[in-house]
């Protein structure tokens, strides 16, 4: 019977220690924050079109299948909204709609959007900052901060946020290739 008790203790420790670690990590200073940056060999106005134009956005953001505009009369600028339809690879390819509303819009240098999914699982925002480095070069920084409403996603945030940041970095690398190819062809 001692071995059964020992196995039960080991099993409990194997479950409790990671759970406590996730709880502690979920309360760190930068919980829910993902940020990436890249220097792109293209001027800011060209890079801006890649983050502002829905058709171009679909070319570099992985999983994105469609960009819809609820109000076709107001597609850009503070107060305008767009719905990003994503094929969520982490959820069996299910379609997910993310509402993105401009809260700051200063082309070609800064854009901030407030985002939420239509299922109420998360809210947050993203800021795109473009800095002219001269000689036709731009530094693009993207900073996202998200809060997960569902208890399990909130609990798993220490694992979700690094994966989101990894996806952002891959998307940024794709954007860099596309923007630089376009700049070279001009």
Which three-class secondary structure state does DSSP give residue 42? coil
Whether residue 50 contacts residue 175, with contact meaning beta carbons closer than 8 Å, is answered with: yes
Q: Once rounded to an integer, what is the mean pLDDT over residues 78-101? A: 92
**What does the alpha-carbon distance between residue 89 and residue 106 come to, in Å, rounded to a whole number?**
32
Q: Given this model, what pLDDT does residue 19 score? A: 67
Q: Given this model, what pLDDT does residue 17 score? A: 67
Q: Given this model, what pLDDT does residue 15 score? A: 74
**What does the alpha-carbon distance between residue 173 and residue 19 come to, in Å, rounded to a whole number?**
34
Torsion of CA 78, 81, 82, 86, to 10 degrees: 110
* For residue 4, pLDDT beyond 70: yes
Q: What percent of the chain has pLDDT over 90?
A: 64
Q: Given this model, what pLDDT does residue 121 score? A: 85
Mean pLDDT of the chain: 90
Gap between the terminal Cα atoms of the chain: 78
24-66 confidence digits (pLDDT tens): 667 778 888 999 999 999 999 999 999 999 999 999 999 999 9
Residue 103 has a CB neighbour count (10 Å cut-off) of 12
Sheet strands (E) in 2-136: 33-40, 64-68, 81-88, 94-106, 110-117, 122-134
């Amino acid at each position: 019977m001692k071995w059964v008790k020992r196995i039960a203790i080991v099993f409990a420790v194997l479950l409790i220690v990671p759970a406590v670690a996730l709880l502690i990590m979920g309360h760190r200073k930068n919980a829910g924050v993902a940020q990436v940056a890249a220097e792109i060999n293209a001027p800011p106005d060209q890079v801006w079109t890649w983050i502002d134009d829905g058709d171009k956005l679909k070319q570099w953001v992985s999983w994105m299948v469609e960009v819809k505009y609820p109000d076709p009369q107001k597609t850009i600028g503070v107060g305008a909204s767009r719905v990003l339809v994503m094929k969520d690879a982490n959820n069996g390819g299910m379609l997910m709609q993310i509402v993105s509303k401009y809260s700051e819009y200063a082309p070609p240098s800064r854009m901030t959007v407030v985002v939420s999914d239509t299922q109420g699982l998360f809210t947050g925002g993203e800021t795109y900052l473009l800095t002219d480095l001269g000689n036709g070069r731009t530094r693009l920084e993207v900073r996202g901060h998200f809060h997960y409403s569902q208890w399990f996603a909130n609990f798993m945030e220490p694992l979700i946020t690094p994966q989101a940041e990894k996806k952002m970095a891959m998307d940024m690398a794709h954007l860099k290739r596309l923007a630089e190819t376009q700049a070279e062809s001009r």
